[in-house]
Structure 1
C-alpha cells in the first residue's frame, strides 16, 4: 500500500489548572504496510497499538504536551520501542503528566520527519501551548494541527501556558501561508482546509480571547 493517513478516535479526560473535562481525541497514523508514525498518542495505548499492527513504529510525535495528547505515549513507546518526540518548550507541561519519564527526542522548527517515503515538516506554532507544533506533509496535501487550528477557529488560549496573540501569529504566519487546498487534520473534531479557515482570521482577531 502507498503511504496514507489513518484516523482513530480515542476518549478520555483533559486536566489542567484544577479542572477536568471529558474529551474525544483524534489520533493520526501516517504510514504504509511496513512502517508508521503516530501523531498524538491519546488515552488508549492498546487501541493505537492495534491500529499500528505489526508495522514498525518510527516515532510517536506529540503536537503539544497537554495530558490528553500524551497520556498513552509512554505505554505505546514501551510496547513498540518507538521514540516519543516533543518540542522542548512543552517540557514543563509534559512533566505535569509524566514526571518520571522524559520524551526521547526534541522536535525543532523546520525539522523533517520521514515515514514510508513521506516527509513531514515540523512547524513550531506556539500559542495553545509554548511548544505546540504542526506537521506539514505536502505529498499528502495535509497539515496536522493538533490544537492550534480547528474547523471554525484557533485552539483555546484561556488556560495556563497559552496566549491568544501568539496563536493568531502562528496561524497567520505558518498555517495560512500553506496552499489553500491543504487539508487541516485537527486534534479534536472534524477536519477542514486552509481555504475554509483563512477568511476568518480578521474575525478571530476582533473577537480576541
Structure 2
C-alpha cells in the first residue's frame, strides 16, 4: 500500500521560562501498513503506539526540543525500540525535559530519512529553537514544519533560545522556496500551503512576531 500521512492530536502542557500553558499538539505518522516514522512524540506514548498498531516504527523524529514535542519520546522509544532523532543544537532544551536520557541520533541539514519508499529531507530551520528542523517529502507534496511555520505566520520567538530575524530567514530561504502547492503540516493547528503563506512575509516583518 502507498505511503500516507496520518495526524494524531494529543493534549498536554508546554513549559518554558517559568510558565506553563495547555496545548494541543499534532503528532504526524508517515508510512504504510508495514512501517512508519513518528514526527514529534507529544504527550501520550500510549495513544501514539495504539495509532501505530503493529507497524514497525523506524524513527521518532523531533522537529525541536520544546517539552511538548518530546515529552513522550523516551517512552515511545522504549515501547517500540525506535531511535529518537534530534538536531544537536537543541540538546540544551532536550536536557531540560530529559536530563538523564539523550537522543539516540542526530539530525543534520540535508539528511534524508526513508520510510515506506518515501524520502524525507531534513531542513535545518532555526529561529523558534536553535535546532529546529522541518521535513520535506516531495513525493507526498508535504512539509512537516514543527513550530517553524503555521497557518498565518511563523512560530513564536518570544522565549529563551528563539530569535525572530533567524526564523524569518529560515522561512524565506528554506521553506518559501518550495513549490507553492506543498502542504504544510504544522506542529499545532491546521495545515496550510507554501503558496498561502508566501505573500505574508513582509507582514510578518512589519508585525515582528
Whether TM exceeds 0.5 here: the answer is yes
Aligned residue for 1:165? 165
Report the Cα offset of residue 126 of structure 1. 0.1
Aligned equivalents of 1:82, 1:111: Cα separation in 2: 18
> 5+ residue gaps in structure 2?
none
* CA deviations over 1:155-203 (Å, ceiling 9, x no partner): 0000000000000000000000000000000000000000000000001
Aligned residue for 1:113? 113
Aligned residue for 1:59? 59
1:78 maps onto 2:71 in alignment: no
Aligned equivalents of 2:154, 2:176: Cα separation in 1: 12
1:135 maps onto 2:135 in alignment: yes
Report the Cα offset of residue 18 of structure 1. 0.2
* Aligned residue runs from structure 1 range 31-50, under 5 A: 31-50=31-50
Aligned equivalents of 2:2, 2:194: Cα separation in 1: 25
Report the Cα offset of residue 207 of structure 1. 1.1
Aligned residue for 1:95? 95
Aligned residue for 2:29? 29
Report the Cα offset of residue 206 of structure 1. 1.0
Report the Cα offset of residue 89 of structure 1. 0.1
TM-score (norm 2): 1.00
* Aligned residue runs from structure 1 range 136-155, under 5 A: 136-155=136-155
Q: How many residues in Structure 1 have an aligned counterpart in Structure 2?
A: 209
* CA deviations over 1:111-131 (Å, ceiling 9, x no partner): 000000000000000000000
* CA deviations over 1:38-74 (Å, ceiling 9, x no partner): 0000000000000011010000000000000000000
Report the Cα offset of residue 208 of structure 1. 1.1
Q: What do you get for the CA RMSD once the two structures are aligned?
A: 0.4
Aligned equivalents of 1:5, 1:130: Cα separation in 2: 27
Aligned equivalents of 1:187, 1:2: Cα separation in 2: 24
> Counterpart of 2:33 in 1: which secondary structure?
coil
User: Runs of at least 4 residues of structure 1 off by over 2 A?
Assistant: none
TM-score (norm 1): 1.00
* CA deviations over 1:57-107 (Å, ceiling 9, x no partner): 000000000000000000000000000000000000000000000000000
Aligned equivalents of 2:7, 2:54: Cα separation in 1: 17
> Counterpart of 1:94 in 2: which secondary structure?
helix
Aligned equivalents of 1:79, 1:116: Cα separation in 2: 21
> Counterpart of 1:161 in 2: which secondary structure?
coil
> Counterpart of 1:129 in 2: which secondary structure?
coil
